[in-house]
Structure 1
Amino acid sequence: MKSQLENQTKTKIKVNGRFPLQGTVDVDGAKNAVLPLIAAACLATDGVTTLENVPAISDVHAMTSIMDKIGVLNNLENTILRIESNTIKSEHIPQHLAAPLRQSILFLGVLVTTLGEAKVALPGGDKIGGNRPIDFHIDALNAFGVDISIDDGVIYAKAKKLPLTGGRITFRYPSFGATITALISATLAEGVTVIENAAMEPEIFDLINMLNKMGAKINGSGTNRLTVEGVQKLIGVMHKVIPDRIEAGTLLTAMAMTNGSGTIKGFIPGHNQPLLNLCRNIGLELSMIGNDSICIKKTDALLPFNVTTGSFPSVSSDLQPLLTSMATQCKGESIITDSVYNDRFNHIPELLRMGANIQVKGRSIHILGGEILKGSTVTGKDLRATSSLICAGLAATGSTFVYGLEHLHRGHGNLVKKLLSLGASIRYE
């Protein structure tokens, strides 16, 4: 984790734009996969779980701090995280540990499943799209016979009995986080649990793969209907975290916006197909190399596009800010509609500072692209907004100074280093 820790004191990134990115770059392990895997590993009753390809991000450090607090023995060294089984001692996660990240809510299911009770401060994370309620998590746990109340910013959960009792859960919306809570709670519950309208993101099925290796009995992987037959114990296993499809999209966006070319290793077609289809439609020449790499060729002109982001298999809402930046380089009007968040627009005022022509109409962003952006001083207010502003700076004239690095480091530990390797003029200041 050294590379990320070295930059914790830096306040901004300076980007000198208009340098085409060229070369080969690797994608780190997925943020949205590793955090649920860490929580699930705490369920094991025997052995040690070893996670490989763990990304160098601050959210991982936040999760290890939570494990330290509740008594779970763990050791993080470079990209390897080892988590010992059957060491949970405390049901309490205080506010200062829960606040840094949204996924702290996943420990609610872990603690009530293993100890029968939990006291977890309300989660934090990026402030995007207005409020991010936890009602789907509560509904899921209620289905297992867990009573929940919230008082003064703290969630109190108590099981009627242990083990929990399996049940039927039907989500009104395929919530990513709540699907994980349901899976975590169902693995050790008595009987059979059926999860309807479950989220289908690749990270969900990476979690299912690991849980099944641990001894869980989960069927339906690849569909929105999951069936879980509860088991009495789980064992520690070795598991490699899948590549981060959002970082892969970030690197692809950076290359496209700079008229660059190169190879991205760790770009899995099945995880990124919606983005691949979009990029080919706007004129990018892409070809797969084997099962997990993509080659991008220079493109003289990008075409405008119309896309609605949403839950998988739609184009991910996490890519919306990046696509907004890319649309500024597509000649003509592009329209991006976000079906997940009603006002995920933190990046737009900053892009306007750089000369972008953007209007927001309801949940839709209208971008009139084709003009060259101008370097400016901008601030990212969430993870994806910050990375989108870095991409904008790569395409702009002059120098762009990007603040908000505390958000960037939540999901990217080595992005600046990777862009440097591709020929970008970029550095921490």
Structure 2
Amino acid sequence: MLDLKLIRQKPDWAKEKLAARGIEGAEVDELLALDKDRREVIVQTEDMKAKRNEVSSSIAQMKRNKEDATEQIAAMREVGQTISDLDAQLAELNDKVNYILVRLPNFPDDSVPVSLDEADAREERKWSTPREFDFTPKAHYEIGEDLGILDFERASKVSGSRFVYYRGAGARLERAVYNFFLDEHQKEGYEELITPYLVNNDSMFGTGQFPKFTEDVYTMSNEGEPMTLIPTAEVPLVNYYRDEIIPTEQLPISFTALSPAFRSEAGSAGRDTRGLIRMHQFNKVEMVKFTKPEDSWQELENLVHDAEDLLQKLGLPYHVITLASGDASFTSAKTYDLEVWLPAQDRYREISSCSNCTDFQARRAQIRYRDDNGKPQLVHTLNGSGLAVGRAVAAILENYQKADGSVTIPEVLVPYMGGQTVIEKVER
């Protein structure tokens, strides 16, 4: 959530920053007008409460002196009614201010390309040259189905579209990939957590998914309380410290977790309808960091490095881009996307997003630390995919496929595959 005080102090700057995210200036004007009315009502309420205290003291003194306080008591009732009316007006204005404020995205950092067009992302670097095939490369879903390790048809029968069964070596490859990711992150100092997969509304609000993205998730009820299947482990990881003050000496804190991710993919009809790229349920290894504000930008670079390291060890070509201001996530001040090369599509596809959310999530979730003067301050939160497991499997199948339809296992995964070096078709 944005700092309303900052918007109030620098309205033109705030409008310019939010315009880069597609927010019209009129929305900021409405917010500030409501905030002005709200603050005026607060002053009126405080004045009336001071008057009530004054009249109350006067009545008490008159009663001690056995004087008639009828008029003062009547005035007291009138003041009380006025305060009640002002409180109701204030509550309404608070609701209107918060309605707008919680739906405004984070301010983009100055280093972010300003554009509402995703095509204006800035390429930062490339790693490795895509392999040249002496045969026409197949798509990962064709490879997986031909090898008998991915079954989309039966998953569709059981659950609907955008689900999959992994079988045999396919299941083991998926497991090998995420265990490799987790082991590598632990080497870099991340603490592994196993998180809840169901979270409450406060948690979804804290990380910025609610109220703006309620249609993009799966919800249910637990003893009458609304619950949401997590769209990413970012939600339970960030909310681990919700409403807490983290001991300063513990910062920065780095968490990692494997979890399923559940997404309704609302509005994605017709996009990536086949394969592992856009699923309703998929596994993802997440990285989350809590830092002091002055350390967060370096920690963002560290986060990206940790994701890149996985792709390099897997031998998968990729590039790193900085997303344009209008394409970054709701909570992000700056996002780097890592896109892996998929030969069958002849293009790079996103496999990780690494974002600095600055104090945006921490303000919503009230996650703080104490500065050198002992005063509570908001931490900065960062998150990144490290990596999306299904997309990593897709990239491995496509980049390591052979002309005979088999797939070579990347060297770093062979120990996780029990020494298996090639996936070949299994007759069933």
TM-score between both structures, scaled by the size of structure 2: 0.23
In our comparison, the structure showing a higher alpha carbon Rg is: 2
Higher helix share: 2
